[in-house]
Homo-oligomer: A and B are copies of this chain.
Amino acid sequence: MNLQNFTFGIDFGTESARAVLLGLEDGRPAASAESYYRSGVIDKLLPVTPRCVALGPECALQDPMDYVDAMREVIAATLQSTAVRPEQISGIGIDCTASSVLPVKADGTPLCILPEFRRDPHSWLKLWKHHSAFAQARTIRDAALERGESWLSEYSEIVSPEWFFPKILETLDESPDAYLAADRFIEVADWLVWKLTGRETHNSYMAGLKAFWSAGRGFPSESFFAHIDKRLEKLIGTKVSKDVSPVGSQAGCLTDRAAAWVGLRPGIPVAVATSDGHAAVVASGPLSPGRMVMTMGTSICHFIGGRRRKVIPGICGCTEDDLVPDSFLYEAGQPCVGDCLAWFVGNVMPDWCVREVTRLGMSSYEWLERQAAALAPGESGLLALDWWNGNRSVLGSADVSGLLIGPTLSTGPISIYRALIEAAAFGTRIIIERFEQHDMGIGQLTACGGLANKSPLTLQIFADVTGRTIGLLASEQASAFGSAMLGAIASRQVTGGIGHDGESAVDMIDRMHCRNRSTYQSARERAAVYDRLFAEYARLYDYFGRTDGSTMKVLRGIRDDARTKRPRDNDAGSR
């Protein structure tokens, strides 16, 4: 029987929650579990009775109660699979996608469970990839430019519809009643911590990256918000908590009520939440300069550490690293990677592939991976732009879209699948080159996340396209692993007796972090072909992403006009 203490890390992803139980002393995972959200991502119809409510395009909602259920289920399932006893749990850390924004009443009740708001999409949890707050992102950016708000440069003058305030402003614009009824708008990560500890606090990582906050200057001013809309003047401090806590600190302790509900003992320290990507960075060890961490799943987040804050055009995320003194964390990203492959499987994978998959008893991805690996770089004649869900970095443009060039009558689906993976790799190379243009050299890549674990082909293509070695983290649940480490860091004052008195957060990260399971090397011959393809990718990138009035933007305008004229009453065109 292992007598050491353990911490729980729980990672709330886009489709499911994953828990990892980590030994405090040896830093080894003892058990893990996963639980899917009952309603998944809600992007077509709100699951309400008597009849469903149709959602607009770019909408991506979730049911917050699915998160609560999933949390209880993964904790129970993890404990059931191990001999570790609940009394041995000495800390909890939580991470989540961001910005995933929930309107709640003053007592934390989500607006969407109130009967009078159940049919209003704006009362539900707006998932990070809820992308319909375009106009609002533009309004906020225009207002900041107009007023010369100095903080805007910290975000490369980009405001993404994915962020915190565009989502809130969208609610004000489209459902003023829901806006009025919401006592708080909160990151779902912080809401879960609130449910566990009874304390509402905004985590510094998301506040910094998604809500224009920094430790030095706080949030934007009342007059800025009033300039956008008079009704927003007192937003900060009333509907949005001013209380921001650094990642790595303790948010509070498990309340009696929450303890009973999750099946753990009361009083366990709970860490301030962070983003799923950031938690994975923590899992990967201290982020020395020159190493980039990629969390690869539905989307990719890229993380790199720096000694000072600088403005890198097109990189809209930089925040102080609360765990490592005197350093900054830069975040870039591609919003649609695993998601794009899933789009392929759901929308353009022909039935003869499905029959083949069924015959061989494989998953679609496994089969596609095997087939696509048999193709040589460049052989298909295809090239794609990976903007099926916009471009986060370096363009920071949510109104670009996908592109596939090169199909002929002899183009098969496998070639398209491989082209989508390659496009994601080219997008990452653009990001790496942007950092390097600003004297942040990147020598080595660390990968983690569902896609990295499931697709060796993806890692090989990324290695070949970027010309760099990629290390794959040993844990398949890097985010949950990192959250568990944050739980351990948060519980230091309580569990100090375990033998690591006075250990700094950095020291703990260095000691407990996850090692690599394997590495992928770039091969010269493949890299040479990809250099040629990348030159074309970069050309298309400029032409469609950087030309004023480019076709993609015009098409979006035409599309929006067409949809305004004829409300979407059927679903024939999509799934």
Residues of A that sit less than 8 Å from B by CB? 43, 57-58, 336, 339-340, 343, 346-355, 371-372, 374-383, 388-389, 401-416, 418, 529, 532-533, 535-536, 539-540, 543-544, 551-552, 554-556, 558-559, 561-563, 565-566, 568, 570-575
Contacts and interface: CB of A to CB of B under 8 A. Distances in A.
Contacts of A561: 378, 529
8 contacts: A347-B350, A348-B416, A371-B572, A378-B558, A380-B573, A388-B409, A402-B411, A412-B574
A408 B416 contact: no
A353 to B, nearest CB: 8
Contacts of A405: 401-403, 544, 551-552, 555
Contact of A410 (B43, B371, B380, B411): B43
A347 B412 contact: yes
A556 B408 CA distance: 11
A558 B532 contact: yes
A215 B352 CA distance: 51
Given A349-B351, A409-B336, A375 B552 contact: no
Contacts of A570: 374
B348 A413 contact: yes
Interface centre among A355, A372, A388, A558, by most B CB within 10 Å? A558
Contacts of A353: 351
B409 A339 contact: yes
A87 to B, nearest CB: 45
Contacts of A544: 405
A383 B349 CA distance: 20
Given A371-B572, A379-B573, A402-B404, 13 more contacts: A57-B408, A339-B409, A346-B350, A347-B411, A348-B350, A381-B401, A381-B558, A381-B559, A401-B405, A403-B407, A405-B544, A406-B559, A532-B554
Given A43-B410, A403-B404, A408-B401, A376 B552 contact: no
Contacts of A406: 401-403, 552, 555-556, 559
Interface centre among A349, A529, A533, by most B CB within 10 Å? A349
Given A371-B572, A379-B566, A413-B348, A403 B401 contact: no
Contacts of A401: 381, 405-408
Contacts of A574: 410-412, 414-415
Nearest to A43: B410
Nearest to A373: B572
A212 to B, nearest CB: 27
A32 to B, nearest CB: 29
Given A380-B559, A381-B401, A558-B378, A58 B351 contact: no
A409 B351 contact: no
Given A349-B350, A350-B350, A378 B562 contact: yes
B558 A533 contact: yes
Nearest to A407: B402
Contacts of A412: 347, 571-575
A347 B381 contact: no
A383 B555 contact: yes
Contact of A382 (B343, B349, B555): B555
B351 A556 contact: no
B536 A414 contact: no
A359 to B, nearest CB: 13
A298 B543 CA distance: 32
A558 B572 contact: no
B350 A562 contact: no
A57 B388 contact: no
A187 B112 CA distance: 71
Nearest to A371: B572
Contact of A565 (B346, B376, B536): B376
Contacts of A554: 532, 535-536
Interface centre among A354, A388, A573, by most B CB within 10 Å? A573
A543 B532 CA distance: 19
Nearest to A418: B573
A378 B559 contact: yes
Contacts of A381: 401, 555-556, 558-559
A563 B380 CA distance: 9
A306 to B, nearest CB: 32
Nearest to A558: B378
A416 B350 CA distance: 14
A372 B378 CA distance: 33
Contacts of A403: 403-407
Contacts of A543: 543
A570 B415 CA distance: 13
Contacts of A568: 379
A346 to B, nearest CB: 7
A551 B562 contact: no
